[in-house]
Amino acid sequence: MPPPLQHAQGFQDKDARASAGNAGGGARPSDVSVPAGGNGTNAAAAVYAKPLTEKEMLAADEAKDKLDRMVKVEALVGKRKRFFSYLKKTHEEGGFWLNCVQLTRQGDLAVYAAELSSQRILRLFYLGVGLAKLLQSKGGLELIRGILQLLEEWEYHFALAGVAHHSVKAMLAKNIDNLDHSARGRDASEEGGGKHQEQIVARLKKFNNEVVYENLLTPEVPFSLDYLEVVFSLCEVMCRIYAKFVEEECYKNAFVYDGLVKVDNKIKHHIINVFAKEFTDMSTNIAKDELKTLR
């Protein structure tokens, strides 16, 4: 092996011989003149490139949109799973809320739970039960449609949108001839979501002029619910629900993806924002009390 300097010199001599040969008319037939700022590969591609047909352009745009939706869904799912895992861990072990104020399970969280109404805990319980049932759904369209319908019924049952809106929803409910929901479920599952061409809209149902629920389960609970256990279960179900959103059926169709965004907005409004505000307020009050003792 020659020393590094001689090795480098050998390459220089080789380049010089190649340049001299080209200058003397020894250019090979395969040599191609390349415009400034370009390269041979791009120039050749430009010569032989054919314009895309309208169908090919639409397919390319659709593939790009699908990729964009996939990236957004993966980022959203990761964010939500981290939140619910963090919320569950805080309830289980206590910890520092937002790395600022330490919350203890036996102290701060026990006081917080004692101040919650039984109705609030029941709302969380019913939502968790309904979502757990929908984990068995097949296909993105069936899952998204089922969750939107569940949230619509859940909001109505607890009048979360206000009394006036509650009455309007009851008036606009769709009359049905029977209580068999299995046919709608099968249609959504078979359709999958790839060819769905309309917005997913949740609407209450009426049978004999009474509102009936398709996905909301409201079992009688003959005992007081444990707030901590309800939250543990809800966080676990939420993580599993969001994990199903990364399936291709949930984002390959624009209408199904829009339904997924609606689902997330409702969960954020009713669950995430509420917990975040209450825990932040609780942490702020604890910090203020501790600062007072230092004065």
**Does 259 score more than 90 pLDDT?**
yes
**Does 163 score more than 50 pLDDT?**
yes
With contact defined as beta carbons under 8 Å apart, do 126 and 240 qualify? no
| Range with lowest mean pLDDT among 26-30, 174-178, 198-202, 255-259 | 26-30
155 DSSP assignment: H
Least Cα distance to 189 among 229, 145, 246, 230 occurs for 145
Give the CA radius of gyration of the chain.
Answer: 31
Question: 1-50, pLDDT tens digit by residue?
Answer: 444 444 444 444 444 444 444 444 444 444 444 445 455 555 555 545 67
- pLDDT-derived band of residue 190, with 50, 70 and 90 as boundaries? very low
d(CA 11, CA 15): 6
With contact defined as beta carbons under 8 Å apart, do 193 and 249 qualify? yes
Global pTM reads 0.76
Q: For residue 205, how many other CB atoms are within 10 A of its CB? A: 19
φ/ψ (deg, to 5) at 221: -115, 105
- Chain Cα centroid distance, residue 25: 64
Q: What is the pLDDT of residue 15?
A: 47
Question: 98-156, pLDDT tens digit by residue?
Answer: 888 888 888 888 889 999 999 999 999 999 999 999 999 887 899 999 999 999 999 99
Amino acid at 166: H
Q: What is the pLDDT of residue 96?
A: 86
Q: Is 65 exposed, middle or buried (0-12, 13-18, 19+ CB in 10 A)?
A: middle
d(CA 235, CA 85): 7
